[in-house]
Structure 1
Amino acid sequence: MLSYQHDYHAGNFADVHKHLVLWQVLEAMRVRDKPFVVLDLHAGAGGYDLSGARAHKTQEAAAGIARLWGADTADSPECIREFLKTLRGFQPQPPRLTIYPGSPLLIQSRLRERDRLVACELHPEAHARLQNGLAGDARCHVHRRDAREAARALFPPTPRRGLALLDPSYERKAEYREVAEMVVSIRQRWNTGTVLIWYPVLAGRPDHALREQIRSELDDPWLLSELRLVREPDRHLGLAGSGMLVLRPPWQLEARLPKCLLPAWRRLDPEQQGGLYQAMALENGKGDPTLRRVETI
């Protein structure tokens, strides 16, 4: 069972991977003029102080966002340049990196006038910080509610076009089963939206039961992205990688993601001991669902 509290791990390599995938999906949503809604079911506190005691204790951002921080150069892909430009806007003393925005603040930065964010957080301290961070923005709605209850109560959303993000801490073993159940419940009520599920790639378990359970119970087209720091995970390494399962991915996401993620992985894993892996399957499992290492773009 993985202990993953946002304040201690904010800005680590898994956050960067998760947020770059989220960023690309949001950009795909923005291509069309129609409004969209984002439902962030495990929203967290919104923003995280990388100079604070909790982040300082683990120093995980040093091997995460800090390695990507200088990558907004002319030879970097546009998605990384725009992502870092947005992150710089959150810094009180730029170019110094001291604040890492969580998914609600990143989503807020990409909303247009008619788009909406519904952010759910149960923990009282994190909820208060999130509410304060999004205060005054009529496009953003903060709920203090359990993600499992929200998965039943908030779907289908208005507007119907949009995406849902599930990225719990997985501190309890039961959360793996609960996330799968939430995804199935969401799809029963809302079968047209995009659903993003983050999961940890644990040492000794390169094939993930949560991932396989969701894929076996649903006929949605899906895209799988994994960023690993080791090619053959050792059982004593703990978190060996980050995974994102995207149900009903936007058009051409499978082609756009490697162009963004492969250069990011090369910075996050400078010794290139791991790799970027991707798989894609169409509706009803058609296509080739084999997870393969991305070598070139």
Structure 2
Amino acid sequence: MLSYLHGYHAGNFADLHKHAALWLILTHLRKKKKPFCVIDTHAGSGWYDLGSDQAAKTGEWHGGIGAAQAGKNAPEMLQDYMDHVSRFDPITHGREYGVRDTDEYAGPFYPGSPFIVREMLRDEDELVLMELHPRENETLYHRVKRDPRIHLHKRDGYEGLVAMMPPAIRRGLVLMDPSYDVKQDYQRAAHSLQSAWDKWPTGTFMLWYPILEDGFDADLRKSIGAIKSQGGVLCAELAADHGGAKGRMRGAGLLVINPPWQFDQDLDVIGSWLAKTCKLPGPGHHTTRWLVPAE
């Protein structure tokens, strides 16, 4: 199914948690001169206009990036990312960022994972994007086509990830952020990550998932926790104790294989602040735990 459009949810609390974690990993990768690659299996359209009709219909960003930017005493490592978001303005870049004269924008803007990574790429680094949704893929193509470091594929992210393993640059990150609009996505995500890790056991893999009242996240944690990586498997969740109506998201989680050193501590500080600052369905909390301890 290709019904999901992230524009309705961009910049919400789950996006902040996921993208702050992404920023931490990218910061770590940049510490060494060796090149790195990032593979984003469900890339979306690249960046989002929070003043659009889509964003206005849900207003979720007000309880996410909006609340965080209005909050006080943000952790330094999170503030660095939020400063990037505050500066992000594709209009100033024009055609380089896919802005077309025929389009109308209201702003403010929120960068999706492709443009978070793009900000952190050096000349020798690479970003591989996959997006199967026809309209999202077309939009993303116009937004990244002028950057030779970025390679976009219109293909299924689950299948494409395994086919690309191992990458030519053997240092880097896989980000998998499916829509989960069908329950089979949970099984496909677990199988794809397992198969990819088998071929690239030294890579870092980060899988995002929703926490629902009637969700399948327990099975997903069990499946990824069976991957006995030497670098460990970390689970980090930002959630409310309850989410109200059946099928509604009450939180979001990340499963990270081979996370960087001290990533768990840094993300827990960030997640705890987000739990107090952002709007969740109820009183929120953040937890981190090792499903597989690092050796």
TM-score by length of 1: 0.86
Q: How does 1:61-76 map to 2 (within 5 A)?
A: 61-71=61-71, 75-76=73-74
Post-superposition Cα deviations, 1:139-160, rounded to whole Å, max 9, x if no partner, equal: 1111111112212221100210
Over the residues paired in the alignment, what is the CA RMSD in angstroms?
2.4
- Match runs of 1:141-156 below 5 Å: 141-156=151-166
- Percent identity reads 37
Q: Which residue of 2 aligns with 1:219?
A: 228
**Alpha-carbon separation, structure 2, partners of 1:214 and 1:281:** 8
The gaps in structure 2 that reach 5 residues or longer are: 93-105
Task: Flag the 1:151–1:237 CA change in 2: closer, same or farther, 3 A.
Answer: closer
2:40 touches 2:114 (CA, 8 Å); kept in 1? yes
Instruction: Name the counterpart of 2:77.
Output: 79
Offset of 1:78 from its aligned partner? 1.8
Label 1:78 to 1:93 Cα distance change in 2 as closer, same or farther (>3 A).
farther
In the alignment, what sits opposite 1:56? 56
Offset of residue 252 of structure 1 = 1.3
Structure 1 unaligned regions, length at least 5: 287-297
Counterpart Cα distance in 2 of 1:187 and 1:271: 34
- Alignment of structure 1 residues 1-297 onto 2, 5 Å: 5-71=5-71, 75-91=73-89, 98-205=108-215, 208-216=218-226, 218-220=227-229, 221-228=232-239, 230-234=240-244, 236=246, 238-269=248-279, 273-283=283-293
C-alpha distance in 2 between matches for 1:270 and 1:120: 30
Q: Give the drift of 1:10.
A: 1.0
CA distance in 2, matches of 1:205, 1:181: 18
2:97 corresponding residue in structure 1 = none
TM-score by length of 2: 0.87
* Contact persistence 2:130–2:154 (CA under 8 A): yes
> How far off is 1:271 after superposition?
9.8
Other structure's SS at 1:55 match: helix
Q: Is the 8 A contact 1:225 1:279 kept in 2?
A: yes
| DSSP-derived class of the 2:208 partner | strand
Contact preservation (8 Å) 1:233, 1:240: yes
Distance 2:193 2:205 in 1: 8
* Partner SS state of residue 184, structure 1: helix
8 Å CA contact 1:266, 1:272 repeated in 2: no
Following superposition, the deviation at residue 282 of structure 1 comes to 4.4
Taking a change above 3 Å as real, the CA distance of residues 181 and 93 of structure 1, as seen in their structure-2 partners, is closer
CA distance in 2, matches of 1:144, 1:200: 24
- 1:1-39 CA distances to partner (integer Å, 9 max, x unpaired)? xx8530111111111111111111111111222111000
Partner SS state of residue 124, structure 2: coil
Deviations 1:53-75 (A, max 9, x none): 1111111111111111234x6x4
The number of equivalent residue pairs is 279
* SS class of match (2:70): coil
